[in-house]
A and B are shown apart, each in its own frame.
Chain A
Amino acid sequence: MAERSVPSTWIGRGSFAALCLAIIFAMLLPLDMQPNRWAAPDVLLATILAWVIRRPEYASAVLLAVILLLTDLLFQRPPGLYAAVALVVTEMIRKRGGRMRQMPFLVEWGTAALGIVAITLINRMALVVFMTPQPPLGMSLIQMAMTILVYPVVIGVAVSLFGLRRRSPGETNAAGQRL
């Protein structure tokens, strides 16, 4: 992680941060002010999970915390709660990341889906416990399902644009360290 101060790691982190900012930017564009019957997928969360599973060293915890807190503030969510929940869940996924390399893609998708479900449910339960106004349940569930469905699409785009292949076991980085 941080001690691998190879320039390529920092380039990877920079491009991941830039990608996240671009997604936030796109979500903020004032294109559609009408309320919809369905909720669009949370592409940012899918992207973060994809990077945490496939390139955990680029999606460092500090960077994730900053980005998630920024989205909390920008998107009028209760500040800090969603960021904390998502950070904890990504840390748990990050721990399992090494073992997932040999598994088929379905396992990876399942892990991401579990993460998305966990984040949605824990966030909602905390909102109920603290008696904070919650978004409609149906909309949250739709968004959760859409985010799970959009995960393979995000992976496809990331593989073609950023070369986010899964690392084969025993692959090394530029400095010759095992990943």
Chain B
Amino acid sequence: MARDRNSEDYFKPVRRLLVGVMVVSLLGLFLVWRIDSPRVERFRLAVIDRVVPSMEWAMVPVTGFVNLVSDFRSYQALAAQNDDLRRELQQMKSWKEAALQLEQENARLLDLNNVQLDPQLTYVTGVVMTDSGSPFRQSVLLNVGARDGIVDGWAVMDGIGLVGRISGVGRKISRVILLTDTSSGIPVTIQPSGQKAILAGDNTLNPPLNFIEDRDLVRPGDRVVTSGDGGVFPTDLLVGQVALGTDRRMRVRLSADYGRLEFLRVLRSRPHEPITDPGGLLETDTMIGPQLPQTAEVTDG
């Protein structure tokens, strides 16, 4: 190459060294991440905490505009949609009657049983800021974080069904791993049979149910709710309905509307109180119940 490269001759080795140093430090970062992942993940969240909120001012109008355009396109299908809605409304009316009757019955039964629903299950509502940006990861960022009291592991719902779980909390943001992500796996119960299973995401819209105890008891259409095993999630949050996939696997049609994740509820769940002492009944000196008279404390034998 007969080109004038005099000016680059002394610069080239320096440049090569610089690139080498950068590659080595990047690989070093990867190794550190592989060895001590939580530390680097905290660093990642700190970076996201810095970068993403500064983009929000532009992100909100652009997202709104794109949604507006796609909504406008859907006006063309309005007439057909109207008919569908009318038909659905008819069905809904009959369901509403059934629901009202059930509600009254439920209230009566609760009254009879004197059941206390968990009063501590309150929620924080957050707005979805960004998605994961990669086709391989299914997660969203919410605009609530540690300053709003969010804690890792809390359940996230939209209005109806479970959406995912908090995984990573920054100061102003938190990341929600959706149920469809490959790293998501939650224990569920299938009603009415009461079978336990694990709902493991596999990057499709309908995640499969793994480890069902007895498949014969599970039918498409059964309700899937969280089981609360492992103490991560509260029990009885609606997840979806069982459906039979084209690959003959039991899958779940999620109740949450994944097409429109906009406002999400983060449920404040309290950890179960651990039982540490062996229990009063096993020890003789701390007897539960009416105190026995002293004379009764005779060693039997």
Contact = CB atoms under 8 A, between A and B. Distances in A.
A87 B51 CA distance: 22
Contacts of B33: 78-80
A32 B132 CA distance: 10
A167 to B, nearest CB: 12
B135 A39 contact: yes
Tell me what chain B mostly uses at the interface: helix, strand, loop, or mixed. Answer: helix
B183 A133 contact: yes
B136 interface: yes
B131 A31 contact: yes
A36 B138 CA distance: 10
Q: How many B residues are at the interface, by size bracket?
A: 35 or more
B11 to A, nearest CB: 6
Interface residues of A, number: 50
A88 to B, nearest CB: 6
A25 B3 CA distance: 40
A75 B183 CA distance: 15
Given A69-B26, A130-B34, A33 B140 contact: yes
A39 B52 CA distance: 23
A170 to B, nearest CB: 9
Interface stretch (A11-19, A135-143, A154-162): A135-143
B134 interface: yes
B8 interface: yes
Most buried by B among A2, A28, A177: A28
Q: Which 3 pairs from chain A and chain B are nearest by CB? A: A135-B136, A80-B29, A80-B30
Interface of B: 1, 3-4, 7-8, 11, 15, 18-19, 22-23, 26-30, 33-34, 40, 43-44, 47-48, 51-52, 55, 58-59, 62-63, 66-67, 128-140, 178, 180, 182-183, 203-205, 258-259, 261
